[in-house]
Amino acid sequence: MSFRKSGWICAVLAVVFLLEGVSFAQKEPLEVGDRLEAFSLEDQHGEEHRLGPDIRVILYSRDRKGGSVMSDAMEGRDGAFLTARGIAYVNDISAMPSLVTRLFAVPAMRRRPYPILLDREGDLTARFPDRSDSATLILLNDSTLISIEYIDDSSELGARLDALKPESGDLGQPD
């Protein structure tokens, strides 16, 4: 192999490793103090919802158990409950097989009386913090993360949601 060819190979490899490093840096989970850029997701009915500065809380899950914690905590609550408190209920369903999503999961979600925002590709919520088997409660102030909580008990999550005061600006954070 000539020096010229090996030089090109080294340059290409360096660019690949550099790009991989950049992609890893972009996938770091959001942390307290980070700003969340506005984006839109469709709900289970195909309606688009924009998550911007008016969203005070994101209730999020990436796995089935966390999703169950969230749906159980929402029992008896509806879309008005979420809207009054500035809560966006978000599920990353990208890992779910498309057949299961289309035939079972989304039709079941359509029976819920509140919007469930769905990240079907996983790209928009890729940096959302999460913990296996837990719901993530992300508190925001003008799109800046002020608190991240992981809750694995639906009763505890329900109580936490009830502590959020409607439109008062008080997020009911524990002292």
Is residue 8 predicted with pLDDT exceeding 80? no
Strands (E), 22-143: 39-43, 48-51, 57-61, 87-92, 117-119, 135-141
Enumerate residues 6+ apart whose C-beta is below 8 A from 114: 74, 77, 78, 79, 81, 82, 89
Distance CA(51)–CA(65), nearest Å, equals 24
Pick the CATH number of 31-162 from 3.40.30.10, 3.20.20.70, 3.40.190.150, 3.30.300.250: 3.40.30.10
pLDDT tens, residue by residue, 100-140: 999 999 999 999 999 999 999 999 999 999 999 999 999 99
What does the domain layout of the chain look like in residue ranges? 1-30, 31-162
Enumerate residues 6+ apart whose C-beta is below 8 A from 1: none
Distance CA(76)–CA(150), nearest Å, equals 22
Give the residue from 175, 172, 145 showing the smallest Cα distance to 160.
172
pLDDT tens, residue by residue, 17-72: 444 444 444 579 999 999 999 999 999 999 999 999 999 999 999 999 999 999 99
